[in-house]
Amino acid sequence: MTNPQPGWYPEAQGSPVLRYWDGAQWTQQTRRADDASPWELSLDGPADPNRLKEQQRAAGVGQTGPGGGTLFTEPVLVVNQRVKLIEMANEYAVYDQHGRQIGAVVQVGQSALKKALRFVSSVDQFMTHRLEVRDAHGQVALRLTRPAKLVKSRVLVERGDGSPVGEIRQENAIGKIRFAFEVGGQRVGGIQAENWRAWNFAITDVGGAEVARITKTFEGLAKTMFTTADNYVLQIHRQLSDPLLSLVVASALTVDTALKQDDRGLG
């Protein structure tokens, strides 16, 4: 028997989780069957561990101590946006420092009208966005909602079971962008962009001490010119507890769609 063509196939009969077959072996890339759109043209292939390590080095992050193998126990998360020539929904793969995929982020709940608007304009940046942060098995770990906005954004963060975690609220619209982490109306930390283009972020606790950092890396000139793909590295400096930990992970994994996407209106 010949091997099947490269593509996405169910992990098991009837499974909603698809795994990428590169033509010779199963990779660590997964996605849900209902995420696919026949109108989106993907330029992705299987993840290259060497490229992931180079992305981490470009962010100035070396190999750190061992992690627990999950989105909430790894000290370094490497976030890669799926590269698409035509993009109607944002999708990201999340890897640990060794290049193993440990999660994914998928934009969900988009209507056909909203996808059409995104294809022909940038007006969708003002509409409501919903994202799911999924673990390596396709289970929802966090749900994020950015309600429709005009100037300032806010992101509501929930656990997979729908219980509330907190809110990420934009504090300013001019200059270096800032966000506050709030739980029950009380500030527990925040995000500070390090330049006006909001590409790199310092994440702080309630006392203002840096506990993590988000650094953007680039895919190369061709992909930067012809696609919208963004890539980020999150480094957590010390062990954090909830709800701050979940808010840090949520902000890093959704910084492009939920937070940074607004830079089209900032400059």
Angle in degrees, CA 162, 91, 45, rounded to 5: 140
Distance CA 159, CA 262 (A): 24
What lies within 8 Å, CB to CB, of 162 at 6+ separation is 143
Q: How many CA atoms lie within 13 A of 112 on its CB side?
A: 2
Strand partners, 186: 183
3-state DSSP call for residue 77? strand
Structure-block tokens of residue 150: 């005009």
**Which amino acid is it at 2?**
T
What does the domain layout of the chain look like in residue ranges?
35-42+49-266
pTM of the model: 0.72
- Residues 96/82, Cβ–Cβ less than 8 Å: no
Instruction: List the pLDDT tens digit at each of the 267 positions of the chain.
Output: 566 666 677 777 767 777 777 778 787 666 666 555 544 444 455 556 666 666 676 666 766 777 889 999 999 998 887 654 444 456 788 988 888 889 888 888 755 555 445 444 454 555 788 889 988 878 889 999 988 877 788 899 999 999 999 999 989 878 888 999 999 999 999 999 887 665 789 999 999 999 999 988 754 433 333 334 468 889 999 999 999 999 999 998 877 665 555 444 333
Distance CA 81, CA 44 (A): 10
Fold that domain 35-42+49-266 belongs to in CATH:
Porin (2.40.160)
Enter the DSSP assignment of 174: S
